[in-house]
Amino acid sequence: GQNIDQPTEMTATEGAIVQINCTYQTSGFNGLFWYQQHAGEAPTFLSYNVLDGLEEKGRFSSFLSRSKGYSYLLLKELQMKDSASYLCAVSSNTGKLIFGQGTTLQVKP
Amino acid sequence: GAVVSQHPSWVICKSGTSVKIECRSLDFQATTMFWYRQFPKQSLMLMATSNEGSKATYEQGVEKDKFLINHASLTLSTLTVTSAHPEDSSFYICSASGGNPETQYFGPGTRLLVL
């Protein structure tokens, strides 16, 4: 079966660092994506990992361990505008994306 | 690069009417387009996968006669919600892939309200 788990909600303080975890069990794997979605808007692409390791892109980094079925998104120097839902999605062999439920991050002053 | 547009962004219609939503890839050729639906506080649910020039592949539970998909060119796909009912009210989002085969880029979404 297909299963992607991530925490439902997280809260962090402006300026801090937060790590959003994602575990997955899928019948095929062709990469893992992280998207950011603000309320009422469509998702925007943040990162893509297909090999093990850490991908850094400015304040955002994403890590993948294929053997453990595990990824995390790391957000540094949090800003108020980072308050959003963060979606973990696995690309199957057919190119379809299987989404987790999303993690709603609230950044407080 | 990798910009996807959707039109309209908002639509309100009466029950029983049909609504057409357009999805365009503006700066790349999209070999595959995807249509999703998202209800409040829920994640995206894939409705169908559309490849240019061929019939769409629908996910289980999605009525192909109700949600008509046409992918006439490498830059345009349309979703028509036929005989819309209030339960079809939702946020419809398309995505396109093709520039980087592994990455889907999302349109801004279309919010449909059926009265």
**B28-80 confidence digits (pLDDT tens):** 888 889 999 998 888 889 999 988 878 899 999 999 999 999 988 889 999 99
Number of other residues whose CB lies within 10 A of the CB of residue B76:
16
Cross-chain Cβ contact A95/B42 below 8 Å: no
pLDDT for position B1? 62
**Of A75-79, B2-6, B102-106, which range is least confident?**
B102-106
Cross-chain Cβ contact B101/A42 below 8 Å: no
Nearest-CA distance B17 → chain A (Å): 24
Residues A13-45: tens digit of each pLDDT: 999 999 999 999 988 888 999 999 998 888 999
Chain B residue numbers with beta carbons less than 8 Å from the beta carbon of A50 are: 102
The answer to whether A29 faces chain B, any CB pair under 8 Å, is no
**Of A75-89, B5-19, B52-66, which range is least confident?**
B52-66
Residues A46-62: tens digit of each pLDDT: 999 999 999 998 999 99
Chain B residue numbers with beta carbons less than 8 Å from the beta carbon of A87 are: 43-44
Residue A41 has its nearest CB partner, among B42, B44, B109, at B109
Cross-chain Cβ contact B103/A45 below 8 Å: yes
Residue percentage of chain B with pLDDT more than 70: 96
Nearest-CA distance B68 → chain A (Å): 19
pLDDT for position B100? 53
Q: B114 near B84, Cβ under 8 Å?
A: yes
pLDDT for position B47? 95
Cα atoms found within 13 Å of the Cα of residue B47, Cβ hemisphere only:
26
Cross-chain Cβ contact A43/B44 below 8 Å: yes
Between CA A80 and CA B86 the distance in angstroms is 35
Task: State the count of interchain CB pairs (< 8 A) between A and B.
Answer: 48
CA distances in angstroms from B71 to A100, A109, B33, B54, B78, listed in the order given: 27, 46, 8, 7, 6
